[in-house]
Homo-oligomer: A and B are copies of this chain.
């Protein structure tokens, strides 16, 4: 298990505790919050690792690094044996639409997929009232009922859970990553020495009308499950450019 909210976050701790009865759980998570860290990895600095305990009980390893660092180090160094499934979460806040690009949570799952391990990112779609118990319920359901063992290499699941009680979930829906995105704006401030600095803020834009959109599923009370890949080639555009350009595969200049 990893996350991007850091090893001290309630989402990962509750999930680890809840699965320990039935499964062997290993936690490797960032020492600090790494939200919006994208698929960053740490290559110019070494990685520091620490054993973390709660009330004396071993919880897992914290890494001064990103979720992708945690997965790599977890698999290569810290794991005592084969890992069957990587779960990145439970994240506080949604990872819908273009969030996928910025999300440290999703990058944890994609890194697992890159390493050939079935992986899923699981996010609670509310910031204020994340209801992690519902996330635990969903993860348990997916572990038992989703054919995650058959996830192909390089592919992962991006799961978003509505913030309602488990019995109020309407079900599960396989979805597409939507074009849900942000309209950014910046708030300028001046420090005591006269220098300007900027806070990045954004308003969410939800104008994707595809009924299979990830955020629509959540809005309608369903758990959204989007199969995602590390391959970002735009095949439609590739074909179009090939038709149009006279340097294609021919190597003319």
Contacts and interface: CB of A to CB of B under 8 A. Distances in A.
**Dominant SS at the A interface?**
mixed
A232 B76 contact: no
A100 B172 contact: no
Nearest to A237: B227
A200 B43 contact: yes
A79 interface: no
A248 B198 contact: no
B174 A46 contact: no
Interface residues of A, number: 84
A26 to B, nearest CB: 17
B250 A171 contact: yes
Interface string A240-253: 01101101111111
B229 A173 contact: no
B234 A155 contact: yes
A35 B234 CA distance: 24
A41 B102 contact: yes
Interface in A169-204: 169-174, 176-177, 179, 181, 184-186, 188-189, 195-200
Contact of A200 (B42, B227, B252): B42
- Which of A38, A48, A171, A172 has the most chain B CB within a 10 Å cutoff? A38
Interface in A51-80: 66, 68-69, 72-73, 76-77
Given A184-B72, A196-B49, A197-B48, A251 B226 contact: no
Interface of A: 33, 35-44, 46-49, 66, 68-69, 72-73, 76-77, 98, 100-102, 107, 110, 114, 141, 145-147, 151-152, 154-155, 169-174, 176-177, 179, 181, 184-186, 188-189, 195-200, 212, 222, 225-235, 237-238, 241-242, 244-245, 247-253
